[in-house]
Amino acid sequence: MNNKDDSKKEENNIVFVKIGQRIQKYRIQRNLTQDQVAETTGISQKHLSRIEQGYHNPRFDMVIQIAKALNVPTDAFAKDLSDDNVDVFLESIRPNIEKLNVKQLEYLKKNIELLLEL
């Protein structure tokens, strides 16, 4: 294998690791075990573990099943793989926001408006 092939393989491995980390992050945020997600998706727990660790690149059909099990959009795992992506951040706090009552939501909105004034 030449240097170009090695570089491409390393780049792919980094992407697989980041996708796996996101899958794990969403699974943990939803208080689900690997066994629970594996059972819902039909993927073995061992295979799911290897996906989360970045050892396996999930097929697209697996990504769809995992996203459904975690109740996230399919692109949440790969969309702009930078950590500062606003969409990823918003998706990560969405479950908490959905638990707020009307008064708490108003308070949150006012705080956001105050932050924008800074």
Query: 115 Cβ partners below 8 Å, 6+ apart?
Result: none
pLDDT digits (tens, 9 = 90+) for 4-43: 555 555 555 777 888 898 999 999 999 999 999 999 999 9
Cα torsion 9, 56, 27, 18 to 10°: value is 0
Q: Name the class of domain 3-117.
A: mainly alpha
How much is the pTM? 0.61
Domain boundaries, the chain: 3-117
Contact 52, 28 (CB under 8 A): no
Tokens of 97: 């926001």
Looking at residue 36, its pLDDT comes to 97
Please give the average per-residue pLDDT across 61-73, as a whole number.
92
